[in-house]
Amino acid sequence: MAQDWPPDPRSAPPTRWLRPPAAHLPEHLLQLLGALLGVVGAYQITRHLAALPSTFLTALVLAGGSVLSGRVLAPWAWWGVLGAGCGSLLGTAMVVAQKIQSTDPHEGLALRLGILASLMVAGAIGGRSFSLDAAHPGRRPPKETLRSASALTTGIFAAVVTLAFIHSGLDEARAISSRLSTSLTILVLAVSGPGWLMHLLSNGRHGQNGDQQKRG
């Protein structure tokens, strides 16, 4: 044993020295940790910003996440990106609900338009990215991303309402649930509407290009 120490710097280090500690964890646990880190980090940041900066940050996260979601990522990294998108959306929905409730309807028109415009741009980028992913056989199908994002968002929503019930009681939890549900519906529609329209336009363009190539 003494002859093997110290190790020869010219020799390759043992494989066990190169493996990070997280590599010993089960794959499903790594995915759960990635999702939790993404959700908690993004939610805490967007939750404590003003309404418009929070929306801008969420739009950037959603647009960037839509581009990365179809790429070849480690499962834990993919779930981290997905968690960041869902967590930032829920955090912004909380901020927007509180801000709009405390703002005069006529004075807050510019704020509401800015919020919707930011998310619509992010949705259009996401729709374009998903169209490219759907047309590429080597990328993750968009329906898998959307299905997982929907389930994760529902889980975060339930967790927020449950924590509000534990902390402040049933009345506060009911009020948060109502405000969060309303604002989240508006934000999701602002993202998904342009995204779906861009997806349809991209698919039509791909179809026309395919027909022209066949004729050529």
pLDDT, tens digit, for every residue of 179-203? Answer: 999 999 999 999 999 999 998 888 7
| 41 vs 207 pLDDT, higher one | 41
Query: Is the confidence at residue 52, as pLDDT, over 60?
Result: yes
Query: Is the confidence at residue 17, as pLDDT, over 50?
Result: no
Burial code of 95-109, b = ≥16 C-beta within 10 A, e = fewer?
A: bbbebbeeeeeeebe
The answer to whether 85 and 149 have CB atoms below 8 angstroms apart is yes
Assess if residue 5 is contained within a domain.
Answer: no
Q: What is the mean pLDDT of the chain?
A: 84
Domain count, the chain: 1
Assess if residue 3 is contained within a domain.
Answer: no
Of the pLDDT bands very low, low, confident and very high (cuts 50, 70, 90), residue 211 is very low
For residue 180, what are the CA distances in angstroms to 75, 104, 118, 193?
29, 19, 19, 19
Range(s) of the domain holding residue 165? 24-215
The answer to whether 66 and 125 have CB atoms below 8 angstroms apart is yes
Assess if residue 137 is contained within a domain.
Answer: yes
Residue 209: the pLDDT is 52
Assess if residue 9 is contained within a domain.
Answer: no
Query: Is the confidence at residue 18, as pLDDT, over 50?
Result: no
Residue 15: the pLDDT is 46
Assess if residue 77 is contained within a domain.
Answer: yes
Residue 140: the pLDDT is 87
Q: Tell me the C-alpha distance between 39 and 41, whole Å.
A: 6
Assess if residue 19 is contained within a domain.
Answer: no
∠ CA 123-128-129, nearest 5°, is: 95
The answer to whether 37 and 87 have CB atoms below 8 angstroms apart is no
Assess if residue 11 is contained within a domain.
Answer: no
Assess if residue 129 is contained within a domain.
Answer: yes
Query: Is the confidence at residue 19, as pLDDT, over 90?
Result: no
